[in-house]
Structure 1
Amino acid sequence: MSRLDSMLRRLTAQRDGLNWAAAAISEVSGDVLDLGLGNGRTYDHLRSTLPERRVWVIDRVLQCHPSCVPPEADFLQGEAEPMLARLAASDHRLALAHYDLGFGVKDQDVAEAAKLSPALAAVMAPGGLVISGQPLVGFTEIDGPAGIPEGRYMFYRAG
């Protein structure tokens, strides 16, 4: 498979998973988190798909497309762990979180996801969903939408 085909499969799985999760959280109260802003495509999709929910963003730096800059009050700039702790100290809980952090080195990415899992769990609303490109720990893994290849994206429910 070419790298282009692989990227298209990843982006399609991401979009389909987020759309599925957006529909699945209709009965769960809480905000939304995009953990890893990058270019801002996922943030833009989340705010378009869930306009009635506050969409938080955590990233080290703000370097997204100008049309995807989150409101200053919703952007927590810095390392993920202290920013998740800051969010956990507030009254806000998350109905949906999209975990998209990574270094591009699988072993490092898996270790970072495991390390951040407890901090992410602390901000989730009961029954909330986490959609992740990396395996997380301490969550209940669930089946996502049909058609997403196993291991491409993982779907979790918070306790």
Structure 2
Amino acid sequence: MSRLDSMLRRLTAQRDGLNWAAQEISLLTGDVLDLGLGNGRTYDHLREVMPERRIWVIDRVLQCHPSCVPPEENFLQGEAAPMLDRLAEGGHKLALAHYDLGFGIKEKDVAEAAKLSPVIARVMVPGGVIVSGQPLVGFKEIEGPKGIPEGRYMFYRAE
């Protein structure tokens, strides 16, 4: 498979997974988190499909497309664990989290996701959904939408 086809497959899976997750949480109360802003495409999509929800964004740096800059009060800049702690200490709870952090080195990415899993769990509402490009620990893995190749994206429910 070409890198272009692989990228298209990943982005389609991401979009379909987020759309599915938005429906899954429709009856839950809570905010949304985009963990890893990057260029801002996912954040832009989340605010389009869930305009009524507060969307928090955590990233080490703000370097997204100018049209995708989150409001200053919703952008937490820094390492993920302390920023997630800030959310928890502020009493914020999440119905949906999108995990898209990575260094580009699989072993390091998997270790980071495992390390952050308990901190993410602290801010999730019971029944909340996590859509992740990396395997997480301590959550109930659930089947996501049909058509997403196994292992491309993972879906979890908070307990």
TM-score, normalised to structure 1's length? Answer: 0.99
The residue aligned with 1:9 is 9
Aligned residues: 159
Whole-Å Cα distance in 2 between the matches of residues 88 and 150 of structure 1? 32
Cross-structure match for 1:97 = 97
Q: Which residue of 2 aligns with 1:151?
A: 151
Equivalent residue, structure 1, for 2:71: 71
What is residue 125 of structure 1 aligned with on the other side? 125
- State how far apart, in whole Å, the 2-side matches of 1:28 and 1:141 are: 18
Q: TM-score, normalised by structure 2?
A: 0.99
- Corresponding residue of 1:59: 59
| Secondary structure of 2:136's aligned partner | coil
Structure 2 counterpart of 1:27: 27
Q: What is the alpha-carbon distance in structure 2 between the residues aligned to residue 157 and residue 121 of structure 1?
A: 10
Unaligned runs of 5+ in 1: none
Q: Given residue 9 of structure 2, which amino acid in structure 1 is its aligned partner?
A: R
SS, match of residue 122 in structure 1:
helix
Taking only aligned residues, the RMSD between alpha carbons, in angstroms, comes to: 0.4
Once the two structures are superposed, residues 97-150 of structure 1 have per-residue CA deviations (whole angstroms, 9 ceiling, x without a partner) of 000000001000000000000000000011000000000000000000000000
| Residue type of the alignment partner of 1:112 | E
